[in-house]
Amino acid sequence: MLKITKIALGSVAAILLANALGLSYSASAGIITLLTIQDTARETITISIKRILAFLLAVILAYAVFHFAGYRVLSFGIFLFLFAACCKPLYLGNAVSTNAVLVSHFLTEADMSLSQIGNEALLLCIGAGIGTLLNLYMPGKVKEIRAMQRVLEEDMRNVLFRMAECMRKEDKSDYTGACFDKLFSDVSTGKKRASAYMNNTFFQESEYFIAYMNMRGQQCVVLQEIYKRIMSIRTVPPQTEQISAFIHEIGISFAEYNNAKALLRKLSMLLLQMKDSPLPVTREEFEDRALLYSVLMDLEYFLQLKKDFADALTKEQVRKYWENVSTGELCV
């Protein structure tokens, strides 16, 4: 609804301004405004710049064609062919239709004087300018993204708690992977909202949410792998209790504002303890011990993903998104 309102108001404003300036074909300014307003502010600015660049190319080609072939319909067809052929390799294809309309005014007037070229240039500037200005206003999406972050983190926290609990059981028949469908759905929604926010802002810090959602998405994949390994464990090895407690600790400390260094140090100690444990006796014990070791390796990667994310943050991103939260190493 907001986009429709912008199109309607912007088109009317462009036509009225063009009329006030005494421009010919003032309705074209309104059409250009309509075509300029895109879904995001960044897209709108990009397409406006492309149309202005394409206009310069269109004027040069039109002047050459009309000069040698005259102001005829066939000449206009030749111009369109050459113009479209030139725009394609220059990635200006979405500017062809707008500039074709403007050049058609040269054909109608049989005139490419400086005043006529200026008329078309002003129509383009008014239409693209009003469309761009209107689309610079986009409702803030940060609250929506923050809400999705909280939902995603709570779901991941619950997955970790359930993993910790089910590891202690030999019978895991009631432990299904249905929760991962919601996890990946949440990640997908979060990425879409983060992408929309980034495309409506013009600061590098807006990429924070994209990087965050990508990191959580990778962590969800790791959690799914851990789930598969836990489901393959047939017994309850002695080391299970320690690993289960560690997974539960990760769940308790699971949050956005952290670097996971303390948990990685604790994980290193767990790995050393496991290496010093007595060797398994039966084949089944050996296989289950190997699966537990794989779970620890997966957990290390899970935590390293968060540490890498935290280490890659700029000072400005930390100031903007983490400044109101006291840092704690035990968070993930």
Q: What pLDDT sits at residue 323?
A: 62
CATH number at residue 261: 1.20.120.940
Residues 65 and 11 reside in one and the same domain: yes
Buried b (16+ CB within 10 A) or exposed e, 22-57: ebebbebbbbbbbbbbbebbbebbebbebbbebbeb
Residues 89 and 147 reside in one and the same domain: no
Distances (CA, A) of 306 to 74, 186, 271: 63, 18, 19
Alpha-carbon distance of 136 to 157, in angstroms, equals: 38
The residue from 135, 154, 188 where one domain ends is 135
Alpha-carbon distance of 141 to 133, in angstroms, equals: 19
* Structure-token pair, residue 255: 């949050």
Which residue range(s) make up the domain with 59?
Answer: 2-135
Alpha-carbon distance of 76 to 98, in angstroms, equals: 14
Q: Is residue 112 part of a domain?
A: yes
* Structure-token pair, residue 97: 């239709």
Kindly give the confidence (pLDDT) of every residue in the chain, 332 residues in length, as a single tens digit, with 9 standing for 90 and above.
777 888 898 999 999 999 999 999 999 999 999 988 887 777 888 899 999 999 999 999 999 999 999 999 999 999 999 999 999 999 998 899 999 999 999 999 999 999 999 999 999 999 999 998 888 776 667 788 888 899 999 999 999 999 898 888 877 777 777 888 888 999 999 888 888 777 777 655 568 888 999 999 999 999 999 999 988 888 777 788 889 999 999 998 887 877 788 899 999 988 888 776 776 666 776 687 788 889 999 999 999 999 999 899 888 888 877 765 544 443 44
Helices (H) and strands (E) in the chain, counts: 13, 0
Q: Is residue 162 part of a domain?
A: yes
Q: Is residue 250 part of a domain?
A: yes
Q: What pLDDT sits at residue 331?
A: 43
